[in-house]
Amino acid sequence: MKIKLDPVTRLEGHMKIEVEVDSNKKVTAAKSTGNMFRGFENILKGRDPRDAVHLTQRICGLCPVSHGIASVKALEASRNFKPTGQARLLRNLIQGGNYIADHILHFYHLTLLDYIQGPNRSPWKTSYDTDMRFSQSASEEMFDHYLKALEIRRKAHEMVSLFGGKIPHVMSIMPGGVTKSPTASEISDYKRLLGEVRSFVDGQYHEDVQKLASVYKDYFQIGEGYRNFISFGVFELEGSSSPNLLYRSGRYTDGQYMSVEPRRITEDIKYTWYEGKERSELRDDNTSPSLNKANAYSWIKAPRYLDIPHEAGPLARAWINGDYRKGVSVMDRHVARMLETKKVANALSLWINELNAGGQEYDSALHAGYSTGEGIGVTEAPRGALVHYVRYKSQRIENYQVVTPTCWNVSPKDNNDRMGPLEKALIGVQIQDINNPIELMRIIHSYDPCTACAVHIMTPEGKIENKFIVSTPGL
């Protein structure tokens, strides 16, 4: 029997999940579909490389800062440029504020309604009450926190807007550093807001995740996936010449900790609505949409690292850094995301004290001179590993590639018929009520999919033979 969830709601973008269940209502097969194609390649190709920082932020309104940073890092790498320590601090303060806003949004507004029943009206009502375990008063209390969390995530975004001008789509992060010169009063506003946000994160958010984890303990055993992780590292620390990162890069594959190099990423298209080369490297992608392809079921390509599927996100970062290695499951993802929010909030409170008022942390030399070059920029979006690749000639983009975290997590099967991490995590799940497969929603949401991000950026051409520059040394 088949169960189709279309649309899967409470995530960014358009997604469909289809599973097959056996007579015992256990999932035996799963298909994850990205349901939107935007063709970003045509938007970027031929444009001025400096436009990419603005345009690529528009890939995703939830994690624009990470796209902006990956984009400037790719261009800076192509010029062998390193921003100042203060510029890196400012970027961290902007990106970190967005992490907090995004993680709070994910837990309270995208996830919680899988576990508690909200008020009986739109947008919170549902026609079912399957496996709702909290008492009415506990649900009410949690829902109060849902509302409080709306205010707190907005304040985290105000932190971002102090140094980014606005959010979504910040204005101050440019190749060359950060154009914003922070004032003393903005720094003190940031601290005040952070204080408030942090007390919510350390108190309420922590407590609510623990409460959820204790009532839904069984979800520590559900939704494991491959137990392989990938991260490119994020939050460069000030002062060091080769960046020291708050979250280092690396991978955990079949029980081994190893390093990563973006050039080893490949993307498969066997089950996607694309035709062309079956397997592409990051920089030589050459595919085009093909709607009538047999067996295809997604607009999302299947990124693999040395042939192997990996999970990206807060749990991957926590695992690779040794912050959290208790287990791999739906609930472990929520716990890791919460612990990360606390860690980032704490780091922000240290970084804001290191920031100098009135500093000019922008080198205008990077506003010109894009004659010929290519570069890779890596960072981590709140939901996982992010890579941008750019190649330009005579101030025009020739090739731009992006591999987003959701591509890693919700990819379809690859050329070897190996499922994507989310698909794998759905296999074997016991469903209580076929008409309301809440278990599937819980597993899907634990990955925090963002399918606008997952819409692959591709260019219908080109190989590069010359040197390949990576933004973060030591990868």
Partner 1 sequence: MKISRRDFIKWMTASATVLGMGKVQLEQATHVLANMDYTPVIWIQAAGCSGCTISFLNMVEKDSDGVPTVDKMLTEHIDLKYHSTLMAAAAKDAMEQANPEVQMIKNNYILIVEGAIPTAQEGIHCIIGEKNHQPWTALQAVRELAADAKHIIAIGTCAAFRGVAGAGSNSTAVRSVEEVLGSGYKSKIVNLPGCPVHPYIIGETIIKLIAGIPVTKDSKNRPLGLYSEKKLHDKVNDINNCPLKGLSKTSKLGVCGNCFDNMGCKGKDDETRSTCYTRYWGIDWNNRKGCFGTGNMCIGCSSSNFPFSKIYN
Q: Which of residues 316-375 bind partner 1 (CB under 8 A)?
A: 360-362, 364, 367
Q: Are 409 and 449 in contact (CB under 8 A)?
A: yes
E strand or H helix at 317? helix 314-321
Contact range with partner 1 by CB under 8 A, out of 176-184, 228-236, 303-311, 348-356: 176-184
Q: How far apart are the first and last CA of the chain?
A: 46
Contact range with partner 1 by CB under 8 A, out of 71-79, 118-126, 314-322, 407-415: 118-126
Pick from 265, 456, 262, 230: nearest CA to 378: 262
Cα–Cα distance for residue pair 319/314, rounded to 1 Å: 8
Per CB under 8 A, 26 contacts partner 1:
no
Instruction: Kindly tell me which residue out of 22, 124, 264, 433 binds partner 1, with binding defined by CB under 8 A.
Output: 124
Per CB under 8 A, 239 contacts partner 1:
no
Contact range with partner 1 by CB under 8 A, out of 36-44, 263-271, 347-355, 376-384: 36-44
Q: Which of residues 45-104 bind partner 1 (CB under 8 A)?
A: 45-48, 50-51, 54-55, 58-62, 64
Residue type at 174 in one-letter notation: M
- SS3 state at 450: strand
User: Residue 201 has which token pair?
Assistant: 């994160």
Q: Which of residues 262-291 bind partner 1 (CB under 8 A)?
A: 289, 291
Q: Give the residue carrying structure tokens 């599973």.
A: 19
Q: Which of residues 402-441 bind partner 1 (CB under 8 A)?
A: 441
Cα–Cα distance for residue pair 175/166, rounded to 1 Å: 18
Flag whether 109 is marked binding: no
Cα–Cα distance for residue pair 87/122, rounded to 1 Å: 44
Instruction: Kindly tell me which residue out of 25, 79, 109, 293 binds partner 1, with binding defined by CB under 8 A.
Output: 109
For partner 1, give the closer residue by CB, 67 or 337.
Answer: 67
Cα–Cα distance for residue pair 107/149, rounded to 1 Å: 9
Contact range with partner 1 by CB under 8 A, out of 73-81, 173-181, 347-355, 462-470: 173-181
Shortest distance in whole angstroms from residue 113 CB to partner 1: 4
Count interface residues toward partner 1 (CB under 8 A).
Answer: 94
DSSP string, 383-404: TEEEEEEEEEETTEEEEEEEE-
Flag whether 407 is marked binding: no
Cα–Cα distance for residue pair 276/289, rounded to 1 Å: 9
Shortest distance in whole angstroms from residue 204 CB to partner 1: 15
Instruction: Kindly tell me which residue out of 83, 177, 243, 375 binds partner 1, with binding defined by CB under 8 A.
Output: 177
Cα–Cα distance for residue pair 392/266, rounded to 1 Å: 21
Instruction: Kindly tell me which residue out of 6, 218, 433, 461 binds partner 1, with binding defined by CB under 8 A.
Output: 6
Which residues line the annotated binding site?
A: 41, 60, 63, 402, 450, 453, 456
Which residues line the annotated binding site for Fe cation?
A: 63, 453
